[in-house]
């Protein structure tokens, strides 16, 4: 931990939800905040949230904003931290430290499902770096009938107007007779109507509108799109649309196995 990990005590307390900036300043002045067993006197003093023990009214204050959240993104919100006109995924997070978070990659406004929100830039970079080819899996409802030949084309790569063909992608048509995917709910599977089919697609790139463009290149429309997995991490099927929760330690490890090896 270096100097760059230091933050102002009052800011830290406010971000972790102890109170407003004014509240926590008052608490500090009233002697209700301890840092490493000593009474803190000044809000502008620096602390290291990982190393220092901070107590407010005798209770340990930990950095929640170090958590990575799993969000089941609903349609209609944009994957950005700020937007002039639209609701963002960050607006869905009812935590005082939400401002520290940013989405790991993007889903289209009308795409639903697994989106990670984190304040951990290094982790985000590892997951998004093109060289890593982290697999992203989607459930989609597309126009037309199941077609094994299309699965073959996806495997070989598709021309979508980029310099190169897409990397090999997995495409599986769901028949309804076999178990589809543990991250899917019965409501998802019921979305498939007349003249449509349900598919599971896996890609290892993240080109703009990639899945829609891949189906578009085959003359099909994507009517519904939901991300259900990223790397070794699956969307929790018990997490309702629009809700979020922190990743468990187990999920954190599954997501970034390389960090394990480092430590
Ligand atoms: N592909 C798309 O077309 N849209 C998304 O949101 C994600 C992948």
Which pLDDT score, from 0 to 100, does residue 223 have? 98
Nearest C-alpha to atom 7 of ligand 1 is from which residue? 107
Residues 143, 195 contacting (CB under 8 angstroms): yes
Cα–Cα distances in angstroms (integers) from residue 8 to residues 12, 21, 44, 240, in the given order: 6, 11, 5, 36
The set of protein residues with a Cβ atom below 6 angstroms from ligand 1 is 107-108, 111, 209-212, 225
Nearest C-alpha to atom 4 of ligand 1 is from which residue? 209
pLDDT in tens, 61-75: 988 767 899 999 999
For residue 75, give both structure tokens: 């349609």
The residues with which 55 forms a beta bridge, in sequence order, are: 34, 60
Mean pLDDT across the chain, nearest whole number?
A: 91
pLDDT band at 99 (very low <50, low <70, confident <90, very high): confident
Q: How far apart are the first and last CA of the chain?
A: 14
> To test ligand 1's pocket by mutation, which of 206, 210, 215, 222 has the most ligand atoms within 8 angstroms of CB?
210
Counting from 1 in the atom list of ligand 1, the atom nearest the Cα of 108 is 6
151 vs 100, which has greater pLDDT? Answer: 151
169 C-alpha to center of ligand 1: Å? 14
Counting from 1 in the atom list of ligand 1, the atom nearest the Cα of 222 is 3
Which pLDDT score, from 0 to 100, does residue 261 have? 42
Which pLDDT score, from 0 to 100, does residue 59 have? 94
Among 106, 94, 200, smallest CA distance to 154 is for 200
pLDDT band at 57 (very low <50, low <70, confident <90, very high): very high
Q: For residues 89 and 68, what is the distance between their CA atoms, to the nearest angstrom?
A: 14
Q: For residues 53 and 112, what is the distance between their CA atoms, to the nearest angstrom?
A: 39
DSSP letters for 45-87: -EE-TTTS-EEETTEE---GGGSPEEEEEPTT-BSSS--SSS-
Does the annotation count 249 as an active-site position?
no
pLDDT in tens, 181-208: 888 988 898 999 999 999 999 999 989 9
Which pLDDT score, from 0 to 100, does residue 260 have? 43
Q: For residues 94 and 211, what is the distance between their CA atoms, to the nearest angstrom?
A: 31
pLDDT band at 2 (very low <50, low <70, confident <90, very high): low
Name, in order, each residue with C-beta under 8 angstroms of 26's C-beta and a sequence gap of 6 or more: none
- pLDDT of 244 > 50? The answer is yes
Kindly state the percentage of the chain with pLDDT values over 70: 94
Q: Write the secondary structure of 183-204 as one string of H (helix), E (strand) and C (coil).
A: CCCHHHHCCCCCCEEEEEEEEC
pLDDT in tens, 16-52: 889 999 999 999 999 999 999 999 999 999 999 989 9
Which pLDDT score, from 0 to 100, does residue 229 have? 96
Which pLDDT score, from 0 to 100, does residue 66 have? 72
- pLDDT of 139 > 80? The answer is yes
- CB 69: neighbour CB atoms within 10 A? 23
Cα–Cα distances in angstroms (integers) from residue 42 to residues 28, 119, 219, in the given order: 7, 26, 64
pLDDT in tens, 146-188: 999 999 999 999 999 999 999 999 999 998 666 678 889 888 9
């Amino acid at each position: 931990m270096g100097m760059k990990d230091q933050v102002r005590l009052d800011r830290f307390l406010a971000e972790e939800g102890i109170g407003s900036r004014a509240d926590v300043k008052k608490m500090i002045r009233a002697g209700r905040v301890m840092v490493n067993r000593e009474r803190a006197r000044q809000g502008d003093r620096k602390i290291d949230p990982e190393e220092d023990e901070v107590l407010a009214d005798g209770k340990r204050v930990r950095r929640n904003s170090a958590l990575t959240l799993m969000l089941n993104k609903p349609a209609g919100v944009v994957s950005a931290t700020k937007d002039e006109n639209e609701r963002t995924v960050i607006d869905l997070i009812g935590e005082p430290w939400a401002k520290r978070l940013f989405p790991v990659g993007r889903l289209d406004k009308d795409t639903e499902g697994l989106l990670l929100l984190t304040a951990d830039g290094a982790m985000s970079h590892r997951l998004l770096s093109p060289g890593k080819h982290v697999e992203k899996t989607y459930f989609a409802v597309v126009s037309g009938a199941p077609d094994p030949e299309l699965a073959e084309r996806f495997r070989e790569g598709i021309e979508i107007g980029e310099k190169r063909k897409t990397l090999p992608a997995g495409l599986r048509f769901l028949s309804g007779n076999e178990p589809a995917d543990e991250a899917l709910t019965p409501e998802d599977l019921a979305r498939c109507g007349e003249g449509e089919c349900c598919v599971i697609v896996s890609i290892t790139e993240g080109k703009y509108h990639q899945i829609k463009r891949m189906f578009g290149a085959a003359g099909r429309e994507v009517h519904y799109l939901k991300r259900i997995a990223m790397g070794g991490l699956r969307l929790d099927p018990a997490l309702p649309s629009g809700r979020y929760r922190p990743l468990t330690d187990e999920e954190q490890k599954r997501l970034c196995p390389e960090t394990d090896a480092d430590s």
